[in-house]
Structure 1
């Protein structure tokens, strides 16, 4: 039996309909925090990561600004802190990974291409698979509100502990199965998934607003995982298949 997502973790509230928060300078990690490192050094490493993203073709200024604002080393174990700003995925426990910076930036850029985002900015976003919380933190700079679902209790607890000190008032962290989405927050301007299955759950499409966009890895027809973009229009769903990707499997239930 599927369980409904629990209530969101209580970060400071935002007023509905308010504008996205202005980009904030990344806060220094508390002493002894997982992934902590001297701020000057990590700031330089983060700046170089953003430079590599731009050199690799990332042209979205809001995405580059968001990637430069979030301290990625805060979201991995301290033993991996020196690798946090390399363009690699890293383990975060329970068989899950934090995506490469290039992949996070690419998927965020695609979300900003949604019709509703082009018309009036990115409103409410649903993220399937919080993981360590890094992508949710990046999305907090790009969207008015972020609802993020994590099905693994161990990762949910870690993400809560890592996000709370950042005081991201527009991020709502939920523990629950992501396959049914989160109907209470719908409709969404964008939905992004951090795990790949064989088909897009119908609930995600139902909860997407007209003019909204869904970005997810999918192994269509049993083939390799590809980055899939679905735009919801007045006339139905329009699907585009982009480049190959490699994500952890999409699963249902909680654990």
Structure 2
């Protein structure tokens, strides 16, 4: 197997360098702790005009707060990452609307509310114990790289895996100017996770299948949390939150969502 990948945007000179088992567990409600404000890494304070202005992102963040996102660390990260840099030029005027947008190859960039909601759920894990930053996070489905950039603000280390070569390459180019040394990008089969980086304090998936792959559960650290879309008995998707505890896996089924299907292999 290859050594741990280094993210290509880790630059000094500005030039690039060369059948899953169904889980059974107790349902419980987690009360979020009041988050401390974390200092995001690898990004300068947002400035500029138009879509580059911090004001337009501030309006998006205000809307997210009105929709119930109350994690100050997540809201700060959402306000720092410039979403318009991750969408096609023809769609930039919709970049800060609460809508998913196509990014090519039949995939989409998730709604800002969904990104914020899922990351906030990760941060509510009992094992986080009020820490400012999450530890090592595995993202299944890099897509255009937007969620990886947000995760980079709230985690010490991010491993992001993408099965579609075209999107993997696009995300590398999107993230390169941001110079995020804590993001590692992998081209591979997300259903297998990424054992070389395990264990992970958090796992987040941007695609949903009938069940959560066992490989993800095996790679989740004790006290860690997984958030992913999954198919319910009705055939619809819903968010599932799974905590790995000494007593076993505990899961909660939350609100309906609509993600692209989880697939195996690479393409």
Name the TM tier (shorter chain).
0.7 to 0.9
> Match for 1:10 among 5, 8, 11?
8
Aligned length: 238
Unpaired stretches in structure 1, ≥5 consecutive residues: 14-18, 29-38
1:41 aligns with 2:41: no
Q: Is the 8 A contact 1:63 1:108 kept in 2?
A: yes
Cα shift at 1:10: 3.0
Q: Is the 8 A contact 1:5 1:182 kept in 2?
A: no
Superposed CA deviations along residues 39-92 of structure 1, whole A, max 9, x for unmatched, are: 412222211101100111111000000000000000001110000000000000
Q: Is the 8 A contact 1:151 1:254 kept in 2?
A: yes
SS at match of 2:191: coil
Alignment of 1:103-142 (within 5 A): 103-120=114-131, 121-142=133-154
Q: Is the 8 A contact 2:208 2:230 kept in 1?
A: yes
Alignment of 1:158-169 (within 5 A): 158-169=170-181
1:86 corresponds in structure 2 to 97
Looking at structure 1, the residues matched to 240 and 206 of structure 2 have their Cα atoms a distance apart, in angstroms, of: 12
2:44 corresponds in structure 1 to 25
Instruction: Normalising by structure 1, report the TM-score.
Output: 0.88
Looking at structure 2, the residues matched to 119 and 85 of structure 1 have their Cα atoms a distance apart, in angstroms, of: 29
Alignment of 1:1-255 (within 5 A): 7-12=5-10, 21-22=40-41, 24-25=43-44, 39-42=48-51, 43=53, 44-120=55-131, 121-221=133-233, 223-255=235-267
- Point out the more displaced range, 187-196 or 118-127: 118-127
Q: Is the 8 A contact 2:137 2:158 kept in 1?
A: yes
Instruction: Normalising by structure 2, report the TM-score.
Output: 0.84
RMSD: 2.1
Cα shift at 1:118: 2.3
Superposed CA deviations along residues 132-184 of structure 1, whole A, max 9, x for unmatched, are: 00000000000000000000000000000010110011000110000010001
Unpaired stretches in structure 2, ≥5 consecutive residues: 12-37
Cα shift at 1:220: 2.8
Q: Is the 8 A contact 1:116 1:122 kept in 2?
A: no
Looking at structure 2, the residues matched to 23 and 64 of structure 1 have their Cα atoms a distance apart, in angstroms, of: 17
Looking at structure 1, the residues matched to 224 and 170 of structure 2 have their Cα atoms a distance apart, in angstroms, of: 30
Change in Cα spacing, 1:157 to 1:124, as seen in structure 2 (3 Å) is same
Q: Is the 8 A contact 2:231 2:237 kept in 1?
A: yes
Looking at structure 2, the residues matched to 4 and 199 of structure 1 have their Cα atoms a distance apart, in angstroms, of: 28
Looking at structure 2, the residues matched to 127 and 102 of structure 1 have their Cα atoms a distance apart, in angstroms, of: 17
Q: Is the 8 A contact 2:42 2:180 kept in 1?
A: no
Change in Cα spacing, 1:20 to 1:212, as seen in structure 2 (3 Å) is farther
- Point out the more displaced range, 61-70 or 48-57: 48-57
